[in-house]
Every structure is written in C-alpha cells, then in structure tokens.
Structure 1
Amino acid sequence: MKMASQTTRTRYVLVGTGNRGTTMWGRELLAGWSSHVELVGICDLNLMRAERARAMIGSNAPLYADFDAMMAELKPALVIVCTPDDTHDDIIVKAMEAGADVISEKPMTTSFEKIERIREAEKRTGRRVDVSFNYRFAPTAARMKELIQDGAIGEVTSVDFHWYLDNAHGADYFRRWHAFTKHSGSLFVHKATHHFDLLNWYLESDPVEVKGFGQLLHYGRNGPFRGPRCKTCPHKSECDYYMDLAADPFLDALYEEPSAVDGYFRDACVFREDIDIPDTMTASIRYASGVQVSYSLNTYMPIEGHHIAFNGRRGRIEMRQYERQPWSEPPADEILLVKSFGGGVERIWVPHEPGGHYGGDNRMRDMIFKPGSNDRLKQRAGSRAGAMSVLTGLAALQSARAGGSVAIEPQPA
C-alpha cells in the first residue's frame, strides 16, 4: 500500500459504521493520524447509523448507501472494511478492482471460496490487502516474539494457548449477528482468527492439520428462558445477561433508533433458540514445522484474557494476561522465561501502553500509515496471513461438526 508522504494524505473511505468502524478506523484514526489520512466518504446500508457515526467521528465526509457509487465519485486510495464478516469479500474485491488498497477488519472473510476470490483479485489488480491483526502489535506479544526469534528456549516443540472471554464480552457475540455461522463463520473464525494468526506469526510456520471440538453448552437453547430482546423481555429482572442499551449512550445512538431502518437489534437475546455457533471450543493443531498446539476458547468465564506457553528444547516461555478480573493486577504483563538444565528463571515485565490492546492498536496504525516504519518483526499482516488464520478456524469447525481431523489447504505466498 502506498502511504502518505509528509505533504500528501491518503484519501480513504470507511465502509461499515458499527462500533469498530466508528472508533478504531474513524474517530481514533483521525484524532491521531490526521496528518497522514483524510476521510473522504462513509458508507453504510443504514444511513441513519452512518449519520450518527459521522457525528461521533467528527467528520463532514459525504454519506453513501451505494458502495459502487461512492467509489466511482470519490476514487479513494484506500477502503477500510468494517462490515459483517460474510460481506467482506464483495467489498474487498470491488475496492481493488476500482484501484484502491484495502484494510479489512478481521477475519478477512468466512469461506475457502471467498479467500480464493480475494487473493485472486489482489494478484490480478496489483493492489494490497492489510488485515487488522492488532494483537501482533501488542507490546507483550512483540516481546515474546523477540524471545522466540532469538532462540531463548531453543526450538519450539509445542504450545499451550487458552483464551477466556468473560460474561460481558463473551455474551456480546451471542447478542449480535456473530451468533450465526452464516455471518461469522462461528467464533472459531471470527474471534479465533486473532489467536490462530498469533500462533502462525509466533511460529513462522503454517498449520497443516486440525482436530477440533465445539459445542453450544451455555447460550442459545441452553438458557432457562428467552425473550425477543432485552429491552422488551419479560425476564429482564431475573436474567444475568440483561443488557440496558439505554445505559450506553454510544451504542444506544448507533443502534436503537437506527434499528427501525434495518431491523437489527443490538440487545438480542443470548438464549435465542436459533443460535448455531459453539460457545465452548478446543482444537489440536499440527504445524508444518512439527510444532503441536493445544488451544481452547471459552465464552462465559468470570475472567477475561489469555494464557500462552511455548515449550522448547531448552526451556519455556509463559505468560498470563488478565484484561478483566475480580482482583487487582499491575498495569503490566509478566513473562516467565524458564531455562532448562538449571538455567534459572527470568521475570520480564512489559508495561501496558495507552490505547486499545494495550497499545497494539496505535502501533498497528503507526506501521500502516507512518512512512518509514520498520517492520523488523513482520507484524504487518497481508491477505495470506488473513487466509491462513481463517482456514484454521474453518478446519476446526468442520472437524467439530463432522468428526475426524481436517487438513488445511496450502496457500501460495
């Protein structure tokens, strides 16, 4: 992607005005990187939501419901895609065919066929797709990558990786469009795409085989009762998952009145009987390098964060990151570097930085938009990285539903 010089700003359009588009790629991007980018258009099928997002962003960019018309009139250099996952491929391909580079929110897409379509269009048009894998840029992730890369524990042979979503964050996926496989590919794709990408990046190898398990054990039809949505639910006084949308002015403005336009309620019931994605997931992953990974994702925990450990021939790197928990933690992450054969233990503290993902969001935007950024850790992620993480999630879901292990389709460079 050709980025701005000191005198030229990249003209970009924002497609999709939900939470992520409005904040990460709207208000925050303009607040911190306005010398490098210029928002020239905003597109959403729901123009009421788009209008409210534009006000929150603090922009006067024109609004469009028609993506093709916006591209023809504005001819932007960059399109940032923040729509539901199953719609990404159409927008990404059209953007590149119109001469624009693309930043796609994760996951890049939701099926093998859509991956092929995006990668073929990228090769054919000569444009570039970046995928928003901001966890690669988090300070702690970067430090662990350095340790692995420097051979601190020798050759890595296996990884333990477990992710925990708490009862607030985890439940939110089951309120929204993410709760249906046709839109999100399941959380094996939508959420775990971050985690599988981190593994691929840490290990610098491709996953080749996955055995997955996944069940809907807590949300959906497992609930004791259900209603049409939280706002009108007769069980709101007894439901642990009741969400008062009006108590959040940001979400209320983006979704409540705009729901009259598209029928999308932001506070849908987490116990809807037609929810079809797992909420409890595990996977065993084998890499081309021989590394074996044990992975899990749980969506209704009393804590938020993750635990990861790299087991090597000469030691172990272990980290437990708490994002939310019912006790106090210092504003830093502790990495334990444990050497084999009496090599001792080194405790490495990595302070949190301002901004989302403990500074990862800011570092990623710096890398993409500021000229001359040094990508020494290969953190910037393109379409191949986006493809490999999605393919891992799709294989895990297929295995969970059909049984057996599933081979992952190789991807060209």
Structure 2
Amino acid sequence: MHELRIGVVGCGQRAPVAALANRPGTARVVSCADPSARGRADARALFGPDAALRADHRDMLGDGLDAVFVLTPDDLHTGPVLDFLDAGVAVFVEKPLAITLADCDRMLERARATGTRLYVGHNLRHLPVLRRMRELIDEGAIGRVRAVWCRHFVGHGGDFYFKDWHAERARTGGLLLQKGAHDLDVIHWLADGYSRGVTALGDLAVYGASERRTAPAPADPDGTAPRMPDWYDPGLWPPTALRGLNPVVDVEDVSMMLTRLDNGVLTSYQQCHFTPDYWRNYTVIGDEGRMENFGDGVDDDRAEIRVWNTRRSGYRADADLVERTAPMGGGGHGGADGALVAEFLRFAAEGGRTDTSPVAAREAVAAGLAATESLRAGGTPVRVPAPDPALARYFAGHQREPRPGPPPPA
C-alpha cells in the first residue's frame, strides 16, 4: 500500500482532527484549502511547510488526493463533498452531515452513483464508555432494550454556541441538529433503530436577551471572523453574565424531545446550554435491567457504567455491576478522535465495514430536523422520513453494490 495523500478543506476549530491523519507510511496531509489567511496560516502550523495551501477547495482537485477531510461550517459541507465524490476522492465529512435532509440525500446518492467512499465523523461511536455500553447491551446485560434516555448538560454552551454562527437558524437549523446529531446517533445506535415519530418542546430561555448581544465582531482584513478560543472564558458564572453574544440569536438554548423508533423503542433527549457542568448521561432500560453512565470520558477523564439487573429495590448506589473505562491514547474526546481517523484511513485505503454509517448520520439529521420543527410548532408530532430503501441497502452493504445471488432452483 502506498502512503495516502490527504487533503483538508476548512482549517478552523476541528482541523486538529485531520492532523491525526499524519501517520508516516500510512497517510500524509499534502493539501489544504481555507478562504481565510488565518485558516491557511493555521494549516501551515498544523501540517507543515510541504502542504500546499489553497483558497478554494476546487484548486485541490488536481493535487492527486486519495482522501479528504471536509471540516467546514455545517452549512458549507455539501459543495466540497459532492466535488470530491465526483473526483473519486474518499470523503470524511464532519458531523452533522448537512443541515437539510435534501443535502444529506444528495451526498448519499452521489456516493452511490460514483462508487466513492463516504464517511461521517460521528466520533462518539468510538468513545470508550459508549462502546462498552453497546457491548453490554449485545451481551444481554439488561435484556431487550425498551427505552433510551439522554441528558446532555452543555455547560459551556454560551461560549461554544451563542457567540458566532452556531446561534443562527440559517446556519445550523437549530442545536437539536447541530449539537444533538452526536447524541441522536448514539441513541439510535444503542437502541438499534431509527426515529420515525417525534415531538419536542424548547425555548430560548437565557441567551435571548438583546442587551447582551453585540455588533458583529471585527474581522481580519481578509474577512476572517474570530473563533471560539478567542473569547472562551470557562470561569465566567452565572450564564446570565455572558456578554458579547452573536448579533443574531434565534436557536433554542434548552430543548426536550421524545421519539418512537422503527423497532418500537421509546427514547428521550434533553439538551441544556446553561448548566454548571458539561457531560452526557445515557440511561438504557431493558426488560431485564438498567444501565447508566456517570462521567463520559470526553475530556480524557475516567467514566463509570453502572448496571442494575438482579433484583428490585429502592434507591441504591451499589449497582450489581460497575465498570470503569479509561481514555484511549491518540486525539481528543477521550481518544475517540484518533480511533475515528484510524478507521477512516483504513476505510479509504481498503473499504469494508465501519462503526460509523452515512445512513445513520442522515437519520440523526432527519430526527434533529423533525424535532426542531415540532418544538417550533408547540410540540406538534412530526413524522421522520426514512431514507430511500435502495440507498439504505447500498450503505448497509458497506458501499458496495450487492452481487447477484445464485439462480433460483429449476
């Protein structure tokens, strides 16, 4: 195998994940594109003096790439993804796949039509605590899954999502999609099903005060806007003290959704951007027990899984099974980023099965969009559209067209 030639489109907040692809003998980042001088300077610092720097991703199409990371803001994924799929370059696209279902389906259809490999960066499927929870489910630790609940305490939400484009419906659709795509994908994965009906409620409860918004932040001469690390202040408390919010804030900062999956499992997802703590708590309830995580390991800390599955009781902290997971080496999110990139590089080179799924990524977007529609209509139930069955079959076959079976018996 030759060393894969890797490109990177969008050298902003998530660009360090692509730096994990620099693996001598396996892959090397050789070309980057970003419309801003700051982005190109960051690419030079991340990827070294030999990487070609472009202002337009289309100028990378002649760089002999084997694979590309598309790490632009969410609403700018579609154009680069389609261009590289057409060119036969394997694509890693950051989650969420897109902010409209139409764009998601265009990407899936183009990947199938061209036969080019498509991979979506749902890194939580590689997070140690969640992988172990999935293994315990498969081992029958709680019987048949009947309900999954997720509470996402987004303690730094004001800094992360309400001081730039993330606060705008036009750029994200809403935070049940932009932030929630992670968790909705995990809920679907743990429950082994996809949302088909949803109802939701939400509000802009804290970050909607107009007096705390600001004029657009001054950009660099080339138009580069400031980024989250430029203003991040984890010591600021309470959230009502936050100033300098984006001029447009029209996404909800607290949301709650209920879904019924296609296999009958019921799920709930709650997301709040003004809690004092920042972590995810998943509860999975089966017909023979319950499991829950305490700590999630995202910030390289240890996490614990507790399982209650031997008897009835009142409240008891002494679970029947307690397992602790530790971060993996290599990259952020408790090592999940490193594992994600390793899987993509193997997939780009060899194809085959992956723990992530473009169809699952599309289903997370579909659920997030439907929930957002519901909460903005006062909780009206909304149907979640399923993907084209032919596309679902194609990606279930690991992006290879099914081969004809044997002829029927005479």
| Coarse TM-score class (shorter-chain normalised) | 0.7 to 0.9
Say yes or no: does 1:192 pair with 2:180: yes
Deviation at 1:57, TM superposition (A): 3.0
Runs of 5+ in structure 2 lacking a partner? Answer: 232-242, 314-318, 393-410
C-alpha separation in 1, matches of 2:301 and 2:342 = 23
C-alpha separation in 1, matches of 2:68 and 2:298 = 33
Q: How does 1:234-383 map to 2 (within 5 A)?
A: 259-266=220-227, 270-321=244-295, 331-341=301-311, 345-354=320-329, 355-370=331-346, 380-383=355-358
2:18 is aligned to: 25
2:71 is aligned to: 82
C-alpha separation in 2, matches of 1:103 and 1:324 = 21
1:41 is aligned to: 31
2:153 is aligned to: 164
1:146 is aligned to: 135
Indicate how the Cα distance of structure 1 residues 375 and 186 shifts in structure 2: closer, same or farther if over 3 A, else same: same
Tell me the secondary structure at the aligned position of residue 118 of structure 1. Answer: helix
Letter in 2 for 1:10: L
2:106 is aligned to: 117
Tell me the secondary structure at the aligned position of residue 29 of structure 1. Answer: coil
Letter in 1 for 2:31: G
Runs of 5+ in structure 1 lacking a partner? Answer: 231-255
Q: Is the 8 A contact 1:161 1:308 kept in 2?
A: yes
Q: Is the 8 A contact 1:367 1:375 kept in 2?
A: no
2:377 is aligned to: 402
Deviation at 1:75, TM superposition (A): 3.1
C-alpha separation in 1, matches of 2:290 and 2:377 = 35
Tell me the secondary structure at the aligned position of residue 21 of structure 2. Answer: helix
Write the deviation string for residues 184-213 of structure 1: whole angstroms up to 9, x where unpaired: 222111111000111111111111111111
TM-score by length of 1: 0.83
Indicate how the Cα distance of structure 1 residues 374 and 311 shifts in structure 2: closer, same or farther if over 3 A, else same: farther
Write the deviation string for residues 228-250 of structure 1: whole angstroms up to 9, x where unpaired: 367xxxxxxxxxxxxxxxxxxxx
2:368 is aligned to: 393
Indicate how the Cα distance of structure 1 residues 204 and 270 shifts in structure 2: closer, same or farther if over 3 A, else same: farther
Indicate how the Cα distance of structure 1 residues 324 and 317 shifts in structure 2: closer, same or farther if over 3 A, else same: closer
Q: Is the 8 A contact 1:9 1:36 kept in 2?
A: yes
C-alpha separation in 1, matches of 2:363 and 2:347 = 27
1:217 is aligned to: 205
Indicate how the Cα distance of structure 1 residues 86 and 272 shifts in structure 2: closer, same or farther if over 3 A, else same: closer
C-alpha separation in 1, matches of 2:64 and 2:360 = 27
1:249 is aligned to: none
C-alpha separation in 1, matches of 2:273 and 2:377 = 22
C-alpha separation in 1, matches of 2:348 and 2:14 = 27
Q: Is the 8 A contact 2:295 2:303 kept in 1?
A: yes
Aligned pair count? 369
- Aligned-residue RMSD, C-alpha: 2.7
Indicate how the Cα distance of structure 1 residues 90 and 121 shifts in structure 2: closer, same or farther if over 3 A, else same: same
Match among 140, 152, 163 for residue 175 of structure 1: 163
Deviation at 1:341, TM superposition (A): 3.4
Q: How does 1:89-100 map to 2 (within 5 A)?
A: 89-100=78-89
Q: Is the 8 A contact 1:217 1:280 kept in 2?
A: yes
Tell me the secondary structure at the aligned position of residue 140 of structure 1. Answer: helix
Indicate how the Cα distance of structure 1 residues 19 and 273 shifts in structure 2: closer, same or farther if over 3 A, else same: closer
Q: What is the identity percentage for the equivalent residue pairs of Structure 1 and Structure 2?
A: 27
C-alpha separation in 2, matches of 1:357 and 1:263 = 27
C-alpha separation in 1, matches of 2:129 and 2:349 = 19
1:137 is aligned to: 126
Write the deviation string for residues 386-408 of structure 1: whole angstroms up to 9, x where unpaired: 10011111001111112311111
Indicate how the Cα distance of structure 1 residues 282 and 361 shifts in structure 2: closer, same or farther if over 3 A, else same: same
Say yes or no: does 1:226 pair with 2:220: no
Deviation at 1:138, TM superposition (A): 0.8
Write the deviation string for residues 91-115 of structure 1: whole angstroms up to 9, x where unpaired: 1111110111100011110101111
Letter in 2 for 1:29: A
C-alpha separation in 2, matches of 1:197 and 1:88 = 19
Letter in 2 for 1:365: V
1:12 is aligned to: 6
Indicate how the Cα distance of structure 1 residues 170 and 291 shifts in structure 2: closer, same or farther if over 3 A, else same: farther
Q: Is the 8 A contact 2:4 2:26 kept in 1?
A: yes
Q: Is the 8 A contact 2:7 2:65 kept in 1?
A: yes
